C-alpha cells in the first residue's frame, strides 16, 4: 500500500494551525489521579446488574476542572510546575530521531497494532500471522485489550511459526480533566504467576468491569426483546461466542445475534440503535486514569506508547503522560489523517518519543478490512522499536 495510512478522516484544520496547538510542558497538570480499583469485597460472583449499579463514573476527587475558552480549539488545563524528566531519566531505550520515510509501502513494513480472539478480535494469532504474510508485512504486534494473560500464548505461536511478533496489550484509560478516553499500547511485558503486577492489577479490574457490563447490556437487550432477522439474544450464546477471549465484549453480543461483518450497514444500524444514544444499554465503565496506566506499565517493566491520539483527540494529555513515563506515540492509524501524522511526529521530536503505526485490525469485528491498512516503516520506528523486538525474544 503506497502513501500514508489508508482511509483518512476529513482534516480538522490546516497543518500549520494544528502544529501550533500541540501542547507544551506548561500545559500539563499538577494534580494526581485518585486510585481506581475494585470495591472491597467484590467478587466475580456478583451479577452484571449488581456490578453495574455499584460503579461510580464521576471524575476523581481532587482534580482541577478543565475549562474551554469560547472559540478555543482544545481544552485548557492548569499549569504544572514540575519539569519534564530527561530522556536519560525516563528510559534506557535509545534516544529516537523520528523522521518520515521518503517512500512508504506495506511490503516490508511493520503493523504494530492488532487484536485477536483473546480480546475483541475475530482472528487467532495464527490467522493474524498468515494475513500479515499475505499482506507483505515483515513484522506484527498483537495488542489485545487489558490483559497480560495471553502474552505467553502469543509468543509461543510466533516462535512456532517463526514470525517476528511483539506480544503486547492495549490499556483502556481516561483523562478525567478532558473527559476523553485514552488508550496506551504496552510492550515488553511478562505476566506474573499470580497476577499481582502493577499493570495486571489495573487491567484486571477493567476486564472484570467490562465483562460484567457487557453481560448486563446483553441482559437489558434481551429483556427489551431486541431482535435481528428473527434472532433474539441468548446470554449463553454470547458467552459461547466469546470463546477464547479473556473478557466479554459488545462485539461478541453482536456476533452472536447478527453473524455479520462490523462494516455491514444492517450491523451498524442495529449497533447504533441498541448501544448508543438513548438506549438503556448505553452504559460504559469506569477506566483508570491515563497517567496511572502509563506509570503502571513502567512499574511492571514495560514500554508505554500513546495509541491513536488523533482518533481520540488525546493530544492535550501528552505532557502529563510524558511526565508519567510515556516513551512512544502511534503516528500511523486508519483514523489518522495527514494532520494527525504530522502532529505525532512533532510530538515525538518535542518529547523524545519513538513512533509506531498499525492498523488496529479486529478481523470481522471491526474496521479496517485488512492488516497493513496502516503501518510504520522500519526506518521510522528506529532503533527503539528494533530493541523491543530483540527484548521480545527473551520473554516467556
For residue 158 the three cell numbers come to 510466533
- Looking at residue 92, its pLDDT comes to 54
**More confident site: 147 or 43:** 147
**56-70, 120-134, 209-223, 238-252: segment of lowest average pLDDT:** 56-70
Q: In what order do the strands lie in the sheet with 328-332?
A: 110-111, 139-145, 165-175, 180-187, 303-306, 328-332, 354-357
Architecture of domain 105-194+300-392 in this structure = Alpha-Beta Barrel (3.20)
Closest Cα partner for 314 from 301, 333, 286?
A: 333
Q: Using alpha carbons only, give the angle 24, 26, 29 rounded to the nearest 5 degrees.
A: 110
- Can you tell me the distance from the alpha carbon of 1 to that of 109, in angstroms, rounded to the nearest whole number? 10
Read off the pLDDT of residues 148-196 as tens digits, 9 standing for 90 and up: 999 999 999 999 999 999 999 999 999 999 999 999 999 999 999 999 9
Of the chain, the end-to-end C-alpha distance in Å amounts to 33
| Residue-range domain boundaries for the chain | 105-194+300-392
Predicted confidence (pLDDT) at residue 245 exceeds the cutoff of 70: yes
Q: Is the pLDDT of residue 64 over 60?
A: no
Average pLDDT rounded to a whole number, residues 221-231 = 94
> Is the separation of the CB atoms in 31 and 59 below 8 Å?
no
Average pLDDT, the chain: 83
Q: Residue 214: pLDDT above 90?
A: yes
Out of 2-6, 112-116, 345-349, least confident range: 2-6
Reported as a single tens digit per residue, the pLDDT across 66-96 is 333 333 333 333 333 233 444 444 445 565 6
> If you average pLDDT over residues 297-320, what whole number do you get?
98
CA-CA distance, 103 to 118, in Å (whole number)? Answer: 34
Amino acid at each position: 500500500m503506497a502513501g500514508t495510512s489508508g482511509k483518512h478522516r476529513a482534516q480538522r484544520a490546516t497543518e500549520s494551525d494544528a502544529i501550533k496547538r500541540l501542547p507544551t510542558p506548561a500545559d500539563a497538570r499538577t494534580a494526581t489521579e485518585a486510585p481506581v480499583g475494585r470495591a472491597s469485597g467484590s467478587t466475580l460472583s456478583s451479577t452484571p446488574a449488581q456490578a453495574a449499579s455499584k460503579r461510580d463514573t464521576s471524575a476523581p476527587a481532587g482534580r482541577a476542572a478543565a475549562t474551554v475558552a469560547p472559540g478555543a480549539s482544545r481544552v485548557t488545563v492548569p499549569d504544572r510546575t514540575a519539569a519534564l524528566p530527561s530522556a536519560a531519566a525516563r528510559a534506557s531505550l535509545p534516544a529516537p530521531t523520528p523522521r518520515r520515510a521518503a517512500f512508504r509501502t506495506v511490503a516490508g513494513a511493520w503493523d504494530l497494532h492488532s487484536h485477536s480472539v483473546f480480546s475483541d478480535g475475530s482472528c487467532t494469532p495464527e490467522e493474524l500471522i498468515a494475513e500479515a504474510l499475505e499482506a507483505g508485512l515483515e513484522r506484527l504486534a498483537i495488542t489485545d485489550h487489558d490483559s497480560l494473560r495471553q502474552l505467553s500464548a502469543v509468543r509461543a505461536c510466533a516462535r512456532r511459526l517463526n514470525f517476528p511478533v511483539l506480544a503486547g496489550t492495549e490499556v483502556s484509560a481516561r483523562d478525567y480533566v478532558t473527559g476523553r478516553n485514552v488508550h496506551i499500547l504496552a510492550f515488553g511485558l511478562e505476566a506474573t504467576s499470580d497476577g499481582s503486577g502493577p499493570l495486571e492489577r489495573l487491567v484486571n479490574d477493567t476486564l472484570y468491569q467490562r465483562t460484567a457490563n457487557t453481560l448486563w447490556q446483553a441482559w437489558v437487550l434481551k429483556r427489551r426483546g431486541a431482535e435481528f432477522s428473527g434472532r433474539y439474544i441468548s446470554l449463553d450464546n454470547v458467552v459461547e461466542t466469546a470463546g477464547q477471549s479473556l473478557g466479554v465484549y459488545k462485539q461478541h453480543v453482536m456476533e452472536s445475534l447478527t453473524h455479520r461483518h462490523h462494516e455491514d450497514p444492517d450491523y451498524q444500524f442495529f449497533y447504533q440503535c441498541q448501544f448508543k444514544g438513548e438506549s438503556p444499554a448505553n452504559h460504559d465503565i469506569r477506566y483508570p486514569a491515563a497517567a496511572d496506566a502509563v506509570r503502571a506499565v513502567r512499574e511492571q517493566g514495560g514500554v508505554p506508547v500513546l495509541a491513536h491520539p488523533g482518533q481520540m483527540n488525546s493530544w492535550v494529555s501528552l505532557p502529563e503522560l510524558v511526565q508519567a513515563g510515556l516513551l512512544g506515540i502511534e503516528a500511523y492509524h486508519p483514523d489518522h489523517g495527514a494532520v494527525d501524522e504530522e502532529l505525532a511526529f512533532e510530538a515525538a521530536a518535542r518529547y523524545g518519543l519513538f513512533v509506531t503505526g498499525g492498523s488496529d485490525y479486529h478481523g470481522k469485528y471491526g474496521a479496517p478490512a485488512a492488516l497493513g491498512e496502516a503501518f510504520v516503516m522500519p526506518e521510522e520506528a528506529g532503533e527503539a522499536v528494533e530493541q523491543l523486538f530483540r527484548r521480545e525474544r527473551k520473554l516467556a
